[in-house]
Amino acid sequence: MTVVATPPAPKLELPPLKLGRITVDTPVILAPMAGITNTAFRRLCREYGGGLYVAEMVTSRALVERTPESLRIISHDDDEKVRSVQLYGVDPVTVGKAVKMLVEEDRADHIDLNFGCPVPKVTRRGGGSALPWKIDLFTSIVQTAVREASKGDIPLTIKMRKGIDEDHLTYLDAGRIARDSGVAAVALHGRTAAQFYSGQADWSSIARLREALPDIPVLGNGDIWSAEDAVRMVRETGVDGVVVGRGCQGRPWLFGDLQAAFEGSEHRHRPGLRQVADGVYRHAQLMIETFGDEGKALREIRKHMAWYFKGYVVGGELRAKLATVPTLEVLRELLDQLDLDLPYPGVDSEGPRGRAGTPKAPALPKDWLLNRHMDEAQSRDIAAAELDVSGG
């Protein structure tokens, strides 16, 4: 029997992503993830591949009030070519002030607005994925933010979900409003707020948005766990680039795989346990630099352990100790107890990671779904709702 080698996949002819004056050669974006995409994690991802690396979501009000945590969130390493910041807000005035501050103080080269967060503490205030339902509020925030960003020639993008649930979809209306307001690109996560991260992302909605907005870049997000998934999304939907979130948790080398795939190379990172352990230790060292506090840095690294070691033979007791690691010294001791010669475990270490949650009715402000415009009580409440939800 003759074994025929599988022909290499043709190179994906995807041009560089243009966001205003910024060119992203590898059209891949690291999704902002609260408590994860800090300077330490962005550096790890950046060292493997090309793309645009967005900082954690920051609350507009906290930024305007200059809270220390908000200023840490928007800080960037000196060698980050594009300083990318994601803002959350529910009040057009406050969002406008936050964008103005970023522009006037030269703290960002790209600004993204969050209309995708499904977390209850965000949606119950009318924010994140709940907000595009209110057309007037959404329009006002986007127009105000674009106006302020344009004063510094800073491209502004938005990230959103399909809608609140299947009966309250917002993405096509929101996409058109955003385009007409002058945004540089629109990113769509192919799930509703009600789905949280459960089930499958609906890539057909991403394709529909791409068709509806032929004149600006559209980016796709949801269920990209490998370079092959990214290539498939581009081919199935026609998007101009992909946004990767949970797929890179514990796998910053995914950005190397993505760059290789978009360049037509079959090279993929298949790290053995020694390489993963080295990556974890480096991540912890970078976290200490980021926070300037070893205790806080090691507390922050704990949640990454299950992601890094997914599929690898580690042992229950050692996993438990890694998940409560107190110091860099103890981390070194624990990592040295691993069988560092174990090879890459293959498919067991790939695929979904992080908490998917379960589908449930989103928490929303009172009478939010009665119509698509704000009533007086909702307008009055919205400024009070502009609280700090950074960090989760």
State the residue for tokens 């415009």.
Answer: 373
Distance of alpha carbon 386 from alpha carbon 95, whole angstroms: 10
* Residue 45 annotated to the active site: no
Angle (CA) 168-170-171 rounded to 5° is: 140
Would you call 143 helix, strand, or coil by DSSP?
Answer: helix
Distance in Å from the first CA to the final CA of the chain: 56
| Dihedral sign computed on CA atoms, order 104, 109, 110, 113 | negative
Q: Which of 19, 117, 130, 219 is catalytic?
A: 117
State the residue for tokens 């966001």.
Answer: 19
Q: Which residues contact 9 (CB under 8 A, 6 or more apart)?
A: 231, 261, 264, 266
Distance of alpha carbon 128 from alpha carbon 90, whole angstroms: 8
| Dihedral sign computed on CA atoms, order 379, 372, 189, 263 | negative
| Dihedral sign computed on CA atoms, order 258, 282, 77, 250 | positive
DSSP 312: S
Alpha-carbon distances of 227 from 55, 232, 242, 262, rounded to whole Å = 22, 9, 10, 8
Are 374 and 134 spatial neighbours (Cβ–Cβ below 8 Å)?
yes
Distance of alpha carbon 65 from alpha carbon 121, whole angstroms: 20
DSSP 90: S
Q: Give catalytic residue positions.
A: 117
